Amino acid sequence: MERTLVILKPSAVQRGIIGEIITRFEKKGLKIVGMKLIWLTDDILEEHYAHLKSESFFQRIKDSMKSCPVIVSCLEGKDAVEVVRKIIGVTNGRNAQPGTIRGDYSMSVQENIVHASDSPETAVVELNRFFSKDELFDYPHAMRSYLYSNNEME
Ligand code: IDP
Ligand code: MG
């Protein structure tokens, strides 16, 4: 099964909606295999958002992301990367479809509640960035026969 990184940003933590956001992923059937509260630093943000380094808003994003601790999590499921990106919606909360997390909770491009890996390759790199091996857990998901057919679990 595929794994992806999801970060609940300061906009989720400070608005008190951590539980609501995690509930959405749980209800979908994604399995939580890693989760912790951490305070991000410039070093890790410069690596994580390296693709935005030359943007005028880079400093603003970094300041926002380190304004308070965030929840980093690893979600597992079939095609988890693509499924989670669909659940969160497009980057700009004002354009995101209602029904998506950003569409339902965000009015902003920057303060858009969640981060999620954008490809399986990126997910591997990002999970290594935020989790050590012993912080990610393999355990049987009690509901798995009701979430997937046998052939989907192969
Ligand atoms: P994504 O989070 O949807 O994958 P990215 O382009 O990877 O979007 O950008 C990372 C984060 O940087 C966004 O989630 C958002 O918080 C912020 N960001 C992206 N574009 C802008 C912008 O034009 N203005 C301000 N912040 C932005
Ligand atoms: Mg991105």
Q: Provide the phi-psi class of 110: left if phi over 0, else alpha when psi is between -120 and 50, else beta.
A: alpha
Closest atom of ligand 1 to CA, residue 115: 2
Question: 91: CA distance to ligand 1 center in Å?
Answer: 6
Ligand 1, CB within 6 Å, residue ranges: 52, 57, 61, 91, 109-110, 112, 115, 118
Kindly give, in sequence order, each residue whose CB lies less than 8 Å from that of residue 96, ignoring residues fewer than 6 positions away.
88, 89, 90, 102, 103, 106, 112
Q: Which of 121, 130, 136, 128 is closest to 45 using CA atoms?
A: 130
pLDDT in 10s for each residue of the chain, 154 residues: 999 999 999 999 999 999 999 999 999 999 999 999 999 999 999 999 999 999 999 999 999 999 999 999 999 999 999 999 999 999 999 999 999 999 999 999 999 999 999 999 999 999 999 999 999 999 999 999 999 999 998 7
Closest atom of ligand 1 to CA, residue 88: 3
What are the chain's domains? 2-40+68-148 (3.30.70.141)
Nearest CA to ligand 1 atom 15: 110
Supply the pTM of this predicted model.
Answer: 0.97
Which ligand sits closest to the CA of 7? Answer: 1
Give the HSE-up count for residue 60: Cα atoms under 13 Å, Cβ half-sphere. Answer: 7
pLDDT at 41: 98
